[in-house]
């Protein structure tokens, strides 16, 4: 009978830390090979075998922007210049960034995206991963103010001020509660932030046309006196208000009323009020500033009614008539004084 035999063996193995625990940093990519810097030294890995893909972008306390890369062996970090990162699109507060390991969505604040310039309905955006032209309407614009020929827009990329010429604006009005700015290269749609916008219908031979008002004052009432083609508003300027009133008058409307910009007249409290006028391709923008307090404002689109227009003329005629009456009265008195006395009749006694 054979005696049993016993044996023992030992198989050596190594337990490795994950990339994340070894502070793995991608330093270069050459095709499918990646150079990693680890706490234990540099190594080469096949990124495709690790199923490396973009995870997110992070901003460090030093102001650097790093990419987090997910792999089957853990997380790798990388500088953006290693990944050929570029900005491909922006929608609202999110940006799409393309890299050599795929695309990733990032907050616009993470990549330091800012509006560099406006050109019509398009905005040039600069960021840490390049520049791109995007539609202003994709940045959730809000109209904050109108001052002379400049608009202030609040967007997801911050506040930006642009002149109407920079925007290549043709007209500006309210459509369904949304501000619509027509430009030569498209339409900008924005909500109202700090101002009130109202459209008033004015009857014309070709149908009703709209006059749009923008102000940061409190509006009690706005109406059109159709017979006089006059826009009437009752408003109050509080201390925190700028008192600005902007009125957008379409050129087409003035043409249908057989009027012109020279006939526009603004009255506040019954007295003439000075205003500035900005001409765009399709509209005139009339602007004025009102003092604190309550105001009754009237904008005559075809000039004031004739009785007001000729007030000085009627005053002159009245003065002339009074003067003429005085002259005639004086002449009459002189004629009476110059007339000889009537001789008394003489007679004898019977």
- Rounded Cα gap, residues 328 and 313, in angstroms: 22
Question: Furthest-apart CA pair in the chain: how many Å?
Answer: 213
What 3 state SS string does 122-154 have? EEEEEECCEEEEEEHHHHCCEEEEEECCEEEEE
Q: Is the pLDDT of residue 219 over 70?
A: yes
3-state secondary structure of 301: coil
Spatial CB neighbours of 156, under 8 Å, sequence gap ≥ 6 = 92, 93, 108, 139, 140
Element (H, E) at 253: helix 251-256
Spatial CB neighbours of 199, under 8 Å, sequence gap ≥ 6 = 173, 174, 210, 211, 212, 213
* Rg value, the chain, Cα: 40
Higher pLDDT, 175 or 296: 296
Q: Is the pLDDT of residue 306 over 50?
A: yes
**pLDDT one-digit tens code per residue, 130-171:** 999 999 999 999 999 998 889 999 999 999 999 999 999 999
CB of 65 within 8 A of CB of 80?
yes
Show the tokens assigned to 273: 């009020």
CB of 223 within 8 A of CB of 200?
yes
- Rounded Cα gap, residues 86 and 54, in angstroms: 13
pLDDT at 43: 76
150 HSE (CA, 13 A, CB side):
6
pLDDT at 175: 87
Q: What are phi and psi of 240, to 5 degrees?
A: -80, -5
pLDDT at 329: 67
pLDDT at 13: 38
The DSSP letter of residue 281 is: S
Element (H, E) at 272: strand 271-272
Q: Which of 219, 221, 211, 161 is nearest to 195 (CA)?
A: 219
Spatial CB neighbours of 244, under 8 Å, sequence gap ≥ 6 = 145, 146, 147, 214, 215, 216, 217, 287, 288, 289
Q: Which of 228, 229, 280 is nearest to 250 (CA)?
A: 280
Q: Count other C-beta atoms under 10 Å from residue 30's C-beta.
A: 9
Q: What are phi and psi of 255, to 5 degrees?
A: -65, -40
The model's confidence at residue 340, banded by pLDDT at 50, 70 and 90, is low
Average pLDDT, the chain: 84
The model's confidence at residue 2, banded by pLDDT at 50, 70 and 90, is low
Q: Which of 208, 218, 272, 220 is nearest to 241 (CA)?
A: 218
- Rounded Cα gap, residues 87 and 127, in angstroms: 8
Q: List the end-to-end C-alpha distance of the chain, in Å, as a whole number.
A: 213
């Amino acid at each position: 009978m054979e005696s049993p035999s016993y044996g023992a063996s030992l198989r050596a193995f190594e337990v490795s830390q994950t990339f994340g625990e070894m502070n793995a940093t991608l330093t270069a990519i050459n095709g499918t090979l990646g150079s990693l810097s680890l706490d234990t030294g540099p190594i080469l890995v096949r990124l495709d075998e690790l199923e490396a893909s973009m995870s997110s972008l992070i901003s460090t306390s030093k102001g650097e922007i790093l990419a987090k890369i997910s792999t089957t062996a853990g997380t790798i970090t990388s500088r953006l210049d290693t990944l050929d990162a570029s900005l491909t699109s922006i929608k609202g507060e999110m940006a799409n960034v393309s890299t050599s390991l795929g695309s990733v969505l990032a907050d616009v604040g993470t990549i330091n995206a800012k509006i560099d310039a406006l050109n019509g309905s398009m905005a040039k955006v600069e960021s840490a991963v390049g520049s791109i032209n995007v539609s202003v309407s994709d940045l959730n614009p809000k109209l904050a103010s109108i001052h002379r020929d400049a608009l202030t827009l609040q967007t997801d990329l911050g506040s930006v001020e642009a002149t109407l010429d920079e925007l290549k604006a043709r007209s500006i009005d309210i459509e369904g509660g949304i501000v619509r700015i027509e430009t030569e290269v498209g339409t900008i749609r924005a909500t109202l932030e700090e101002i009130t916008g109202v459209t008033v219908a004015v009857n014309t031979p070709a149908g009703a046309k709209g006059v749009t008002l923008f102000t940061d004052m409190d509006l009690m009432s706005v109406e059109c006196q159709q017979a006089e083609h006059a826009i009437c508003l009752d408003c109050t300027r509080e201390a925190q208000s700028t008192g600005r009133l902007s009125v957008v008058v379409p050129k087409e409307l003035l043409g249908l009323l057989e009027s012109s910009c020279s006939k526009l007249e603004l009255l506040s409290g019954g007295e003439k009020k000075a205003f500035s006028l900005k001409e765009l391709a399709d509209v005139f923008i009339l602007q004025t500033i009102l003092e604190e307090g309550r105001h009754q404002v009237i904008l005559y689109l075809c000039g004031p009614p004739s009785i007001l227009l000729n007030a000085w003329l009627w005053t002159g005629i009245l003065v002339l008539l009074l003067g003429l009456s005085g002259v005639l009265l004086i002449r009459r008195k002189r004629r009476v004084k110059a007339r000889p006395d009537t001789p008394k009749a003489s007679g004898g006694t019977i």
